[in-house]
Amino acid sequence: MAVAGRISPADVPRLCHLLGVLLADGGTDPIVCDVGGIRDPDAATLDALARLTLTVRRHGRRIRLSHASPELRELLALAGLADIVPCVAESAIEPRR
- The candidate with the shortest Cα–Cα distance to 6, out of 49, 37, 50, 47, is 37
**Number of domains the chain contains:** 1
Does 96 fall in a domain?
Answer: no
| Residues spanned by the domain of 7 | 2-91
Q: What is the pLDDT of residue 20?
A: 87
Does 97 fall in a domain?
Answer: no
Q: Is 90 exceeded by the pLDDT of residue 38?
A: yes
Q: What is the pLDDT of residue 25?
A: 81
Q: Rounded to an integer, what is the distance from CA 39 to the centroid of its chain? A: 14
Does 66 fall in a domain?
Answer: yes
Q: Is 80 exceeded by the pLDDT of residue 94?
A: no
Peptide bond into 70 cis (omega under 30): no
Does 13 fall in a domain?
Answer: yes
Does 86 fall in a domain?
Answer: yes
Does 78 fall in a domain?
Answer: yes
- Could you tell me the CATH number of the domain that includes residue 19? 3.30.750.24
Distance CA 4, CA 35 (A): 6
